Amino acid sequence: MSKDTRHLVRAGALLVVGVVVFLLIRQVLVPRSFGEYGYYRGENVQEWASLPLTFSDTSSCNQCHAPVYAQWHSSPHVAVSCENCHGPGIAHIETGAKLTIPEARELCLVCHERLFSRPANFPQVESVAHAGDVECTACHSPHSPAIGGTPPASQTPTAGQTPIATDTGPTSAFPLIPHPLEGRATCSLCHRVEAGLVPLSQSHAGRTDDICLACHQQRKP
Amino acid sequence: MNLSRRQFLKGGAATLGGVALLSSPMAYALRNSTKTEAPPETKLEQYDWEKHYYAFAVDTTKCIGCGKCVVACKLENKVPPDPEHTRTWVERYVITEEQEIFVDSPEAGMEGFVQPQMNLKYQGLAISESFFVPKLCNQCEKPPCVQVCPVAATYATKDGVILVDQKRCIGCRYCIQACPYGARYLVPDGDVTPNGYSRVADKCTWCYHRVVKGHPPACVEACPVGARVFGDMRDPQSPVREILRHSRVYTLKPSLGTKPKVFYIGLHFGVV
């Protein structure tokens, strides 16, 4: 090897070693799946995709709670998913953990209290004027909120099975009258079993105006 | 010890070569050690991300400001419970007769807007219009957050969702600065993301773990009025495609060229 080429070989060898070292370090530092799909760690997509679910969906509720599901399904509240009020259901489905419902009045009013920002066609009430401090569930079943709507279905648990929660209907035996009576002609003008402005349940068929106030009192202002 | 320049260079080269030779099995061993990590429990073999491209629609004319979406998001994604760190939130716009615009989002909207103290400041105002605008990550087609990340920790999936690789994230907050929609936050000390990381960037994933399994995002599932709609642009029957066909939709800050994939129905000109 001539004197003139030896320094080139040395420099070349150093360069090769340097490149090898760089590649090795890179090998160690760059994650294995980096660049698999793009300029990121490909495995991370799978990491996000395989996170466990917390919320289920309404169809899984139907598997055990069919009667109340049917009642809810034919009510205007069908757009409100079960877990919206009852909380996330996966833990309940998998371990039987009990679901708890927050204070009913607050739960109802977060959607139904009158607010100037809500769309005008959404059902809203001035809660105090509408019902004082009476619980909403005294008159309205959350699964069928219209007064006199579909009556709650009962569900008998099969032997040995843990009792299945069901809707027992409005808590007050006799819903209170939420509006003033003065200036209104008769109850049946609006409240009728059939074709009434405010429908009554079938159990009220054949009843006349003179007996309404025997059970239903006017709400205290 | 006296070394000539030549001896030093020769010695140096030999040492480097030795290190290189020794480290190659080491490198191999290291690589394999990361390989043996337990595979994630659900392999989504039946899911082909090339067949989907997701989009989101928000109908501001339907939103009632109940905040159920924010609550559901926080529960589903283990988002810190405080209102400052949130993946989605609901804004209230109040426009007066004088065209003065007020925007607020008490508790990020998660408690709703009915509490008296939330409405005090609007008493006595001549309000001409008012409405709610739910906000979330727009999963932009041209995401500025992805562009600025210095460690390639945030990226767009092929089905159109921007994710954060929180193992790589160094918490530098560039992405939080870059997002024109304020959709990102830094996970505070003491809170951990579902992936188990703290002090890293976090953001809405459109509940990626749900949508790849065919469930809608938690906020969509929670919305009682159908104001939030999720769908697949590759499916002509998808509810989002239906909305794009029949409604006039708008995006937030279109002039920035980020091409958001959250489409708003009935968006007021005052909304930013």
Instruction: Quick: pLDDT tens for B72-109.
Output: 999 999 999 999 999 999 999 999 999 999 999 999 99
CATH of the domain at B137: 3.30.70.20
- Phi/psi for A199 (5° steps) reads -70, 145
Residues of B in contact with A81 (CB under 8 A): 221-222, 224
Would residue B271 count as lying in a domain?
no
Min Cα distance A74 → chain B (Å) is 15
Tell me the CA end-to-end span of chain B in Å, nearest whole number: 71
| Chain CA centroid to CA B73, Å | 12
Asked if the model's pLDDT at residue B258 lies above 90, the reply is yes
User: According to the model, what pLDDT value does residue B14 have?
Assistant: 73
What sign for the dihedral angle of Cα B258, B261, B265, B271?
Answer: negative
Residue B35 pLDDT grade (very low, low, confident, very high; cuts 50, 70, 90): very low
Q: Evaluate whether residue B101 is within a structural domain.
A: yes
Domain that holds residue B62: 5-265
pLDDT surpasses 90 at A15: yes
- Identify the closest residue of chain A to B15 by CA–CA distance: A17
Per the structure, the count of domains in chain B is 1
Whether B272 is in a domain gets the answer no
Q: Which two tokens stand for residue B252?
A: 């937030």
Model's pTM, two decimal places? 0.80
Mean pLDDT, range A108-122, rounded to an integer: 95
A19: nearest CA partner in chain B:
B20
Closest chain B C-alpha to A107 CA, distance in angstroms = 10
Of A18, A28, A79, the CB nearest to B27: A28
Count the residues in chain B: 272
Checking if the pLDDT of B20 tops 90, the result is no
Q: Using a CB-CB distance cutoff of 8 angstroms, which residues of chain A are in contact with residue B212?
A: 49
**Is B47 part of a structural domain of the chain?**
yes
A57 contacts B209? CB cut-off 8 A: no
Q: Is the pLDDT of residue A132 over 90?
A: no
- Spatial neighbors of B11 by CB under 8 A, at least 6 apart, are B3
DSSP structural state of residue A135: -
CB atoms within 10 A of CB B197: 19
- Do the chains contact at A113 and B27, CB–CB below 8 Å? no
Distance CA A178, CA B106 (A): 32
Q: What is the mean pLDDT of residues B262-268?
A: 95
pLDDT tens-digit readout, B181-219? 999 999 999 999 999 999 999 999 999 999 999 999 999
Nearest to B72 among A27, A46, A55 (CB): A55
Question: Which one has a higher pLDDT value, A78 or B12?
Answer: A78
Decide if B82 is inside a domain.
yes
* Backbone Cα Rg of chain B: 24
Banded pLDDT at B2 (limits 50, 70, 90): low
Contact A13 B13 (CB under 8 A): yes
Decide if B184 is inside a domain. Answer: yes
- Listed range (A137-141, A187-191, B1-5, B186-190) with the worst mean pLDDT: B1-5
* Domain-embedded: residue B203: yes
In a domain, B152, yes or no: yes
Partners of residue A141 on adjacent β-strands: A144
Question: What φ, ψ does residue A131 adopt, rounded to 5°?
Answer: -150, 10
Nearest CA-CA partner of B261 in B156, B164, B140? B140
Of A116, A106, A121, residue with least CA distance to B119: A116
